[in-house]
Amino acid sequence: MIAVEPTLERLATARSLLLEPYGLDEGHLRRALSAIMAPGVDDADLYFQYTRSEGWSLEEGIVKTGSFSIDQGVGVRAVSGDKTAFAYSDDLSWAALREAAESVRAIGRQGGSQRANLRRTRRTAVAPSRQLYAAHDPIGTLDSAAKVALLQRIEQMARARDPRIVQVMAGLAAEYDVVLVARADGVLAADVRPLVRLSLTVIAQQGERREVGTAGGGGRMGLAYFDDAVLTRYVDEAVQAALTNLESRPAPAGEMTVVLGPGWPGVLLHEAVGHGLEGDFNRKGSSAFAGRIGERVAAKGVTVLDDGTLEGRRGSLNVDDEGCASQRNVLIEDGILRGYLQDRLNARLMGVAPTGNGRRESYAHLPMPRMTNTYMLAGEHDPQEIVASVRRGLYATQFGGGQVDITSGKFVFSASSAWWVENGRLLYPVKGATLIGSGPEALKRIVMIGNDLALDSGVGTCGKEGQSVPVGVGQPTLRLDGLTVGGTA
């Protein structure tokens, strides 16, 4: 059997779904791009996308909803200076593509940049090769009956754990996403992106009190990932969280030591720090980290990465939505700010290279700098040693919703699972704890970093300017001193 080079295989898939059925070929793409590149246009690209998605939800042992959808289209962009003209269409005919190209070409006639920095070429340059996930359709990896049986199985497992579990809700989602990027500089890139996710919510009741526990995960893989071992882990996590919350007491408030558990608590790092390191906010000077490259912005030992090259992870990409290969970007190294996350537009305007972080929700949206998998590297401390070092404080292992102000870096996050700690011992679970602070300040308050780096289970979705994209987060156990906690006690 002759193996097909991954990049060429993905290009073949993209052509078969997005070009050939509509009578298009690469000659049409070059003609459309040539039509856009008027004097004054600095950059231009075409973004074709085909997305097939399916979802199932189960409650009380009954499938309550089932959905299936197909969406496809093309986004056409021209950039002049910092201005962008954009058009999109769900019609993939040559007439629609030509009309979109001619409409965005007008940006070059509006008195913007009078220089064409982008070298036009008729030569095609295929994006670099890599394969971070299999190029298969996860929807077809199980039939409908098996998907329903999977949800029924996890519901039965959750109810069997404890008689106090009175309600179980489960959801299963799968997506097959094929993209094709053609750029005026001749770059041609394609990606075939599978994505699956299983979610579980349980409600436990004791007397009149009811509490919730959640779990789930997934990534860029097939549905066979959700075997009995994975289901058992999700059930254990959700049920344990709900039963623990039944015993919770009101959370104390005030300034105190806070220990953050490994894995999903990295969502605080994502929101409070990661967004502030995106190139658009820093180019405009609206981030608390703007103009601080080379400065100390965190305690020694703090190293933060954004890495889109992790195999099978929810936030990973073979290429970003502008045809750049994703990268392992060091943002903060031993407390020193080293760089920002860049798409092509902001990188060009800031005089740096793109970092493979140009992302968009769909063909109907513009790309912007976004995170992929953002996490902090491990340190040297045993996590038990970190908890044992706390005289009085909070140990938070899971977070719910939160908000952050990019300009100031101030954040508010609610802990969905947390414990009160005294003299190094977990005394009792607490409810209603809210962490309040500033991302840049919180980085400086880290005094102990665990050796237990963990990534989240594959549930993260990031929102920015109305667009949502899948992401990953992670961190080791951390101790922060002098963090403000809002409580209910």
Residue 129: strand, helix, or coil:
coil
Give the mean pLDDT of 195-199: 98
Confidence band for 108, pLDDT divided at 50, 70 and 90: low
- pTM for the complete prediction? 0.93
Domain membership of residue 378 as a residue range: 253-486
Residue written as tokens 């754990």? 161
Cβ partners under 8 Å of residue 244, min gap 6: 213, 417, 429
pLDDT at res. 5: 76
Q: For residue 175, how many other CB atoms are within 10 A of its CB?
A: 20
Q: 275 and 359: one domain?
A: yes
User: Domain end: 200, 219, 247, which one?
Assistant: 247
What is the structure's pLDDT at 128?
65
**Which three-class secondary structure state does DSSP give residue 330?**
strand
Would you say residue 123 has pLDDT above 80?
A: no
Of the pLDDT bands very low, low, confident and very high (cuts 50, 70, 90), residue 106 is: confident
Same domain, 175 and 279: no
Between the CA of residue 152 and those of 53, 57, 215, what are the distances in Å?
21, 10, 16
Query: Lowest mean pLDDT: which of 117-121, 188-192, 259-263, 415-419?
Result: 117-121
CB 110 within 8 A of CB 35: no
Indicate the number of domains in the chain: 2
Lowest average pLDDT, out of 162-166, 346-350, 351-355, 411-415, goes to 411-415
Of 247, 277, 312, the position where a domain reaches its end is 247
* Per-residue pLDDT, 488: 77
Average pLDDT, the chain: 93
Judged against a pLDDT cut of 80, whether residue 373 lies above it is answered with: yes
Q: If pLDDT is split at 50, 70 and 90, which confidence band does 127 have?
A: low
Based on the fold, state whether residues 113 and 228 are members of the same structural domain. Answer: yes
Is residue 104 located within the same domain as residue 179?
yes
Predicted confidence (pLDDT) per residue in 286-336, tens digit: 999 999 999 999 999 999 999 999 999 999 999 999 999 999 999 999 999
Identify the CA nearest to 56 among candidates 217, 196, 245: 196
Strand partners, 328: 307
pLDDT digits (tens, 9 = 90+) for 415-458: 999 999 999 999 999 999 999 999 999 999 999 999 999 999 99
CATH of the domain at 104: 3.30.2290.10
Q: What is the pLDDT of residues 203-246, one digit of tens each?
A: 999 999 999 999 999 999 999 999 999 999 999 999 999 999 99
295 and 193 in a common domain: no
- Ramachandran angles phi, psi of 106, nearest 5°: -60, -20
